A and B are shown apart, each in its own frame.
Chain A
Amino acid sequence: MAEQGKKGRRGGRREGAGRPKGTARTYNFRADSEVADCIDRQENKTDFIRGCIRFAMRHQGEADQQLRQEAKKTLSLRHEANQPLSLKHEADQPLAKFGEVTPATRLRAARLPFFDVKIVAGFPIPMNKDEMAQDIELLQMLCPHPDSSYLIRVLGDSMVEADVKDGDILIVDKSLRHPTESQIAVCELNGEYTVKHVVRDCEGMWLVPANPAYPRIRVAEGDDFSVWGVVTYIIHKSR
Chain B
Amino acid sequence: MVALVDCNSFFCSVEKVFHPGLDGKPVCVLSCNDGCIVALTPEAKALGLRRGDPIFKMRDIVERNGVTVFSTNMYLYAAMSRRVTNILRSCVQRVENYSIDESFCYLDGYESRFDLADYMRSVVEKVRLCTDIPVSVGIAPSKTLAKMGSKFAKNYRGYRSVCVIDSDEKRRKALGLFDLADVWGVGRQTLAKLRYFGVTTPLQFADKKESWVRSRFPLPTVQTWRELNGIPCIDTSERAQKQTICTSRSFGAMVGDFTALRAAVADFAASCANKLRGQHSVATAVTVFVASNRFREDLPQYANGATVRLETPTSDSIEITAAATRALGAIFLPGIHYKRAGVVVSDITDDGSVQQNLFDHVRNRPARRQLMERIDELNHRFGLKTVRLVAEGEQDQAWHPKSEHRSGNYLSDINEILTIRI
Task: Name A residues whose Cβ lies closer than 8 Å to a Cβ of B.
Answer: 145-148, 150-156, 158-159, 164, 169, 174-175, 177, 186, 188, 190-196, 209, 224
Contacts and interface: CB of A to CB of B under 8 A. Distances in A.
B422 A156 contact: yes
Interface in B1-47: 20-21, 23
Contacts of B86: 146-147
Contacts of A156: 421-422
Contacts of B419: 152-155
Contact of B420 (A147, A177, A195): A195
Contact of A158 (B130, B131, B422): B422
Contacts, number: 68
Contacts of B130: 145, 147-148, 174-175
**9 shortest A-B CB distances, which residue pairs?**
A191-B21, A148-B130, A156-B422, A175-B129, A153-B419, A195-B422, A193-B420, A188-B20, A151-B417
Interface residues of B, number: 21
B414 interface: yes
B132 to A, nearest CB: 7
Interface in B368-422: 410-411, 414, 417-422
Nearest to A157: B422
B170 interface: no
Given A152-B418, A153-B418, 9 more contacts: A146-B86, A147-B87, A150-B410, A152-B417, A152-B419, A155-B419, A159-B422, A175-B129, A193-B20
B129 A153 contact: no
A209 B421 CA distance: 13
A95 B129 CA distance: 56
Nearest to A167: B419
Nearest to B83: A147
Given A147-B87, A151-B414, A192 B21 contact: yes
Contacts of B21: 188, 190-192, 224
Contact of A174 (B129, B420, B422): B129
Nearest to A155: B421
A132 to B, nearest CB: 28
B117 to A, nearest CB: 11
